[in-house]
Chains A and B, each alone.
Chain A
Amino acid sequence: DAKTTQPNSMESNEEEPVHLPCNHSTISGTDYIHWYRQLPSQGPEYVIHGLTSNVNNRMASLAIAEDRKSSTLILHRATLRDAAVYYCILRDWVSSNTGKLIFGQGTTLQVKP
């Protein structure tokens, strides 16, 4: 499985945008880029995913580099509730028949009031 690299931690001020980077230089053509987050004392929660094009949903935006070797999760206006560990995960939809999501260490986002 291709690996992802994320900063261990980031800080943001409330109501400001947050850009969470992820490097995946060994990504294959069949890997989808997924983002999940885990709030304190809760299970992981799906945020967004994409393959090649940038994606937007009600929670966030995902910007994917043209060569797909990196991506950025964008929270447009951080709130205190967005403080969580954010995981960037690659899923090979062709060969992955276990459904397993490989969670790395993620980025711990702290949001300051």
Chain B
Amino acid sequence: EAQVTQNPRYLITVTGKKLTVTCSQNMNHEYMSWYRQDPGLGLRQIYYSMNVEVTDKGDVPEGYKVSRKEKRNFPLILESPSPNQTSLYFCASSGDLAGGNIQYFGAGTRLSVL
């Protein structure tokens, strides 16, 4: 089954404690992306990756890092989490970026930073 898998689904942590949210896709997609979803603000793109070793900032990259060492994995790293990073996070992947491209989303990771 084609899917995007995020782990963990729920995470509670404290300010400053480094954490990683993993994202893996089994569709051999080149494109992957991270979004955060906040009430009243919709989904906003954090980082994206066009292919292995190619990443770039989205609209809200501050406080986040990513890496793309393998095509299937695209982890989101919070080196020093702060309470304003409390949010719902989604990873997405796509096979291409043509106009009709379909993006597949993970089930989400709900993060609370105390």
| Residues in chain A within 8 A of chain B (CB atoms) | 30-32, 41-46, 49, 51, 91-94, 96-106
- Taking the closest CB of chain A, its distance from the CB of B13, in whole angstroms, is 21
In-complex Cβ contact of B90 among A41, A44, A49, A100 (8 A): A44
In-complex Cβ contact of B58 among A31, A96, A98, A103 (8 A): A98
- Is B81 in contact with chain A by the CB < 8 A criterion? no
Sample of 7 A–B contacts (CB below 8 Å) = A32-B99, A43-B92, A43-B107, A51-B99, A93-B97, A94-B99, A100-B59
What is the CA–CA distance of A19 and B108 in the complex, to the nearest angstrom? 28
In-complex Cβ contact of B99 among A41, A44, A45, A91 (8 A): A91
B50 contact set on A, CB distance < 8 A = 99
In-complex Cβ contact of B42 among A42, A91, A98, A104 (8 A): A104
What is the CA–CA distance of A1 and B62 in the complex, to the nearest angstrom? 23
Q: Mark B37-54, 1 if CB is under 8 A from A, else 0.
A: 000001101001010000
- Asked if B97 and A101 make an inter-chain contact with CB atoms under 8 angstroms apart, the answer reads no
What is the CA–CA distance of A45 and B98 in the complex, to the nearest angstrom? 18
In-complex Cβ contact of A93 among B31, B98, B102, B108 (8 A): B98
In-complex Cβ contact of A43 among B59, B90, B97, B99 (8 A): B90
- Asked if B97 and A96 make an inter-chain contact with CB atoms under 8 angstroms apart, the answer reads yes
- Asked if A43 and B108 make an inter-chain contact with CB atoms under 8 angstroms apart, the answer reads yes
- Asked if B99 and A100 make an inter-chain contact with CB atoms under 8 angstroms apart, the answer reads no
What is the CA–CA distance of A91 and B100 in the complex, to the nearest angstrom? 8
- Taking the closest CB of chain B, its distance from the CB of A17, in whole angstroms, is 24
- Asked if A101 and B42 make an inter-chain contact with CB atoms under 8 angstroms apart, the answer reads no
